């Protein structure tokens, strides 16, 4: 049992039926926070419209990922993140983004 529990990401129940949690300030907690930042477009959260980053929908290639790295540094300063991208060889229209995270 965590002394300072926070919901794990993704939100789910364990085998015991209880919600999975992680300990505050652990690597798993920081990774959960960063995963949420990556998945939220700016303006999605009504209560905090500045949260997230401007998704690169319909942008010209290569994508500018500085906004993603800036959002990660702003909203989760406990981690270090470097974003990169690559094209899918089979599906030329698909761009993939990878975020390397360190604690």
In the predicted structure, residue 35 carries a pLDDT above the cut 70 = yes
Residue 73 near residue 98, CB atoms below 8 Å: no
Residue 21 near residue 5, CB atoms below 8 Å: yes
Q: Give me the residue spans of the domains in the chain.
A: 5-102
Topology at the third CATH level for domain 5-102: Nuclear Transport Factor 2; Chain: A, (3.10.450)
How far apart (Å, rounded) are the C-alpha atoms in residues 43 and 27? 27
Threshold 0.85, pTM exceeds: no
In the predicted structure, residue 91 carries a pLDDT above the cut 70 = no
Q: pLDDT tens-digit profile of 66-84?
A: 899 999 999 999 988 888 8
How far apart (Å, rounded) are the C-alpha atoms in residues 40 and 54? 9
Mean pLDDT, all residues of the chain: 86
Helix axes 27-39, 66-75, angle to 10 degrees: 130
């Amino acid at each position: 049992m965590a002394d300072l529990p926070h919901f794990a990401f993704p939100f789910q129940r364990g085998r015991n039926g209880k919600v999975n949690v992680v300990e505050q300030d652990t690597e798993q907690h920081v990774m959960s926070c960063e995963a949420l930042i990556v998945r939220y477009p700016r303006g999605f959260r009504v209560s905090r419209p500045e949260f997230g980053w401007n998704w690169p929908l319909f942008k010209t290639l290569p994508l500018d990922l500085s906004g993603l790295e800036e959002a990660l540094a702003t909203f989760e300063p406990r981690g270090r993140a470097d974003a990169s991208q690559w094209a899918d060889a089979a599906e030329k229209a698909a761009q993939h983004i990878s975020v390397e995270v360190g604690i």
